[in-house]
Amino acid sequence: MNILILGSGGREYSIGLAIYKENAHNLFFMPGNGATSELGENININDYNELAQWAKDNSVDLTIVGPEAPLVDGVVDIFKENDLTIFGPSAAAAQLEGSKVYMKNILKKYNIPTAAFIETTNEKEAHDFIDTMNLPIVVKADGLCAGKGVIIAQSKDEAKEAASDMLSGESFGDAGTSIVVEEFLDGYELSIFAICDGENYKVLPAAQDHKRIGDGDTGPNTGGMGAYAPTPLVNDDIYKKVEERVIKPTLEGMKQEGAPFEGVLFIGVMVVNGEPIILEYNVRFGDPECEILMPLLETPVSELFYKGATRQLDKLDIKIKKEFGVGVVIASENYPYSSSKPAEIIVDKIVDEDLAANSHISYAGVASEDGKLMATGGRVLVCVGFGSSIKEARDRAYELCGQVHFAGKKCRSDIAYQALK
Ligand code: AMP
Ligand code: GLY
């Protein structure tokens, strides 16, 4: 097939790498990064109508959308109007991520377990609700805020101030003029991904992300500093509850809403006393979760997404490798505070055959310049290790980290610690 992947991060690289390794397809990336050009061709067409025309002209058989923004902007709708096969939710269904108010109302309407909340555009209503709550209090801007729209307030005054700043448009502009105020859930967090075709679904092994910049989950939130899967923090009971209480009613509910869900349903779960409670939905893969899940699939990734895009998941018997994956993000010096100076990346030749066979790099914030690979800031790459235990996979991931060099590189040293306690 000719396959087009939208996005430029490590997530899109890892989808591309998995498909590249199938040795059967031509890959295109829009816009891609300085390393995806080794897997296929990077193109640069930002208008979705023009891109759909390009896809038709170039006989693209399948388009896979990585990030949320094009989904919320309706790229899937435009491609479908052009009779193209594309894997991802419509703009209507992407509201599950695009609007926290929409998401919370769907959860409530279809009795899906989530934190108690109110949604409001009114400052007084927000403050009155905050007065009735226990601490800490969670305040969320409605719209997309690049992962920054959630405040966990330790006092009522802090919660009220966050609510007022959001509602006035001061913190997040229009994305914050509607807010969700909700109870704090105390438990451990999981990322569960269901590949959906509107009707059917396939669940991937549960992963755990590490959102904070510092070891021991300290410091500010990031896009994610590392992940591993499958996590031993889930058991069959939790998977079953997630399927019965969350995935099935969501797919059924979205059909009733006239917005059947196709694509990746990313379920942010907090497990509280053994019960899975939904923190949020995203409508795409997590990054870096994707970087470890793609290589754990034995089923060809292209087939999984193609069947997902053509409502044939019931005909797919999904197979997962019986091993563990751990991904350690290497970020630039000033991440997540500010941009960093570009720096050349040098990767040592991996002489250890065992390491070479059981690890690889997924590239994200990189550019190719005069034959050199440059770190351009943010999350630069993910070192992924595999093994028959989490410890073995973790050790390989960190061994690979030691072979990667660029000025200012930094990573957490405790990825997967919750599984190894
Ligand atoms: P969200 O964008 O809704 O996933 O929120 C970002 C992060 O804030 C989540 O991954 C959680 O770590 C945390 N968070 C969000 N909502 C809650 C909640 N109700 N209770 C505890 N932590 C939360
Ligand atoms: N790793 C979490 C996310 O992609 O939102």
- Cα 397 to middle of ligand 1, angstroms: 27
Dihedral angle sign, alpha carbons of residues 198, 293, 69, 24 = negative
Q: Which domains does the chain have, with CATH numbers?
A: 2-90 (3.40.50.20), 122-177 (3.30.1490.20), 188-315 (3.30.470.20), 324-420 (3.90.600.10)
- Cα 6 to middle of ligand 2, angstroms: 17
Atom of ligand 2 nearest to the CA of 289: 1
How far is residue 80 CA from its own chain's centroid?
A: 23
Q: Please tell me the number of the ligand nearest to residue 148's CA.
A: 1
- Cα 222 to middle of ligand 1, angstroms: 13
Which residue's CA lies nearest to atom 2 of ligand 2? 286
Q: Is residue 343 left, alpha or beta, with left meaning phi > 0 and alpha meaning psi from -120 to 50?
A: beta
Using alpha carbons only, give the angle 11, 12, 14 rounded to the nearest 5 degrees. 65
Residue type, 90: S
Let me know: does 224 contact 256? Beta carbons within 8 Å.
no
- Cα 116 to middle of ligand 1, angstroms: 13
Task: Report the alpha-carbon distance of residue 329 to residue 416 in Å, rounded.
Answer: 12
Pocket test for ligand 2, best of 15, 144, 191 (most atoms within 8 A of CB): 191
Which residue's CA lies nearest to atom 5 of ligand 2? 286
**What tokens were used for 285?**
């893969």
User: What pLDDT score does 391 carry?
Assistant: 98
**What tokens were used for 4?**
């087009």
Which residue's CA lies nearest to atom 3 of ligand 2? 286
Which tens digits make up the pLDDT trace of 201-225? 999 999 999 999 999 999 988 999 9
Q: Please tell me the number of the ligand nearest to residue 147's CA.
A: 1
Residues of the chain short of pLDDT 70, as ranges, are none
Q: Is 209 in the pocket of ligand 2 (CB under 6 A)?
A: yes
- In 3-state terms, what secondary structure has residue 138? strand
- Cα 191 to middle of ligand 2, angstroms: 9
Q: Is 280 in the pocket of ligand 2 (CB under 6 A)?
A: no
Q: Is 342 in the pocket of ligand 2 (CB under 6 A)?
A: no
Q: What is the dihedral of CA 241, 246, 251, 252, to 10 degrees?
A: 80
Give 161-219 as a DSSP string. HHHHHHHTTTTTGGGGSSEEEEEPP-SEEEEEEEEEESS-EEEPPPBEE--EEETTTEE
Burial of 168 (0-12, 13-18, 19+ CB in 10 A): exposed
Atom of ligand 2 nearest to the CA of 147: 5
Q: Is 268 in the pocket of ligand 1 (CB under 6 A)?
A: yes
Let me know: does 294 contact 15? Beta carbons within 8 Å.
yes
User: What pLDDT score does 148 carry?
Assistant: 80
Q: Is 387 in the pocket of ligand 2 (CB under 6 A)?
A: no
Task: Report the alpha-carbon distance of residue 327 to residue 380 in Å, rounded.
Answer: 13
Task: Report the alpha-carbon distance of residue 66 to residue 368 in Å, rounded.
Answer: 21
User: What pLDDT score does 153 carry?
Assistant: 96
Q: Is 280 in the pocket of ligand 1 (CB under 6 A)?
A: yes
Atom of ligand 1 nearest to the CA of 115: 19
Which residue's CA lies nearest to atom 4 of ligand 2? 286
- Cα 184 to middle of ligand 1, angstroms: 8
Which residue's CA lies nearest to atom 19 of ligand 1? 184
Largest CA distance in the chain: 64
User: What pLDDT score does 144 carry?
Assistant: 87
Q: pTM of the full predicted structure?
A: 0.96
Q: Is 222 in the pocket of ligand 2 (CB under 6 A)?
A: no
Q: What value does the mean pLDDT of the chain take?
A: 97
Which residue's CA lies nearest to atom 4 of ligand 1? 280
